Amino acid sequence: MGGQRMKVVVVEDEALSRKRLVRLLQEAGCLVVASFAEGRGALEWLGHHPEVQALFLDIHMPNLDGLAILKTLSGQFPVVLTTAFTEHAVEAFDGEAVDYLLKPVTASRLDRALNRIEGRWALAASAPTPVPVAPGPLRYPVHAGEGVVLVDLHKTTYFEVDSEVVWAHAGGRLRTQWKALSEVEDAFPGSGLLRIHRHLLVRLEAVLGLKPAPGGRAMVRLVGGEEIEASRGGAPRLREHFGIG
C-alpha cells in the first residue's frame, strides 16, 4: 500500500466474515470508514459519502444483494465482490467489479485485490483527456455477396483465424477483411477482447462460464450456447481475468 490510507467500506451480513475482512483490510493499511450488515442501508449511506475510495461487497445479503448494488453504483467506486460461491464470477465482471474474492478471504488474495484497485487508479490518472466523439456502436465490415455489411462488435462472441482469414462469430460465421487476430486487437483496443488460443480471440462479455479440460486447457461457454477451447496458455489468462483461483 506504500503508506497510503485507502478509505474503504465493507458490506457483509455475516458478522464473523465482516470482522475478519475489516481486520485484514486494517492490517493491509486501509482505513475502514464504515461497515454494514445489509445492503439497503449501505447504499443509502454511500450516496452521501463520495470520499469513499473502494467498496468490499458481499453478494448474498438481506434487503438488497451485492449485484444489485454494483449495478446501481455504475462505477462510482471501485468494487470488490466477496462470496462463498464461484458461479457469480461472470456477473461480477459484467458489472465491472474490480475483483472477486472467495471466502474465506486470505491476506495474500486481499493484497492482490488492493493492487488491482491501485492499478485502476493509476490507469485513470494516466488516461488522456478523451476527445468527444459521436456515440455509436463499435462496428466492423464483413463480406456479403459483392459488398460488405457492418456488424456490431457487441453482438460478436469470438473471432477465429483460419488460413490467413479472420472469421467473426456473430449469429453465424462471417468472413471479415482481416488476415490476423492482431489486426482485430489493433482495431478495438480496450474493448474486452482476449486471446485464449493462437487462433481464437474471445469477447469477454460473451463468456458465460468455464470448465476444466485435459492438459490444463478449459472449455469456454459463450452466449448462445457455443463452447470453444482455451489453450493451456489461454486458460490461466481467463481465470485470472474473472478472479477464479
Rounded to whole angstroms, the Cα distance separating 162 from 139 reads: 21
Q: Look at residues 26, 35, 24, 22 and name the one whose alpha carbon lies nearest to residue 5.
A: 26
For residue 201, the model assigns a pLDDT of 96
Tell me which DSSP letter residue 214 carries.
G
For residue 1, the model assigns a pLDDT of 47
Domains 7-126 and 139-242 share a fold: no
Q: Look at residues 4, 43, 41, 35 and name the one whose alpha carbon lies nearest to residue 18.
A: 35
Q: Which segments in the chain show pLDDT lower than 50?
A: 1-3, 134
For residue 50, the model assigns a pLDDT of 81
| Residue 119 contacts residue 126 (beta carbons within 8 Å) | no
DSSP-based three-state secondary structure for 153: helix
- Please report, for the chain, the start and end positions of each structural domain, with discontinuous segments joined by +: 7-126, 139-242
- In the CATH scheme, what architecture does the domain 7-126 have? 3-Layer(aba) Sandwich (3.40)
CATH number of 139-242: 2.40.50.1020
User: What residue type is 125 in one-letter code?
Assistant: A
pTM across the whole model: 0.51
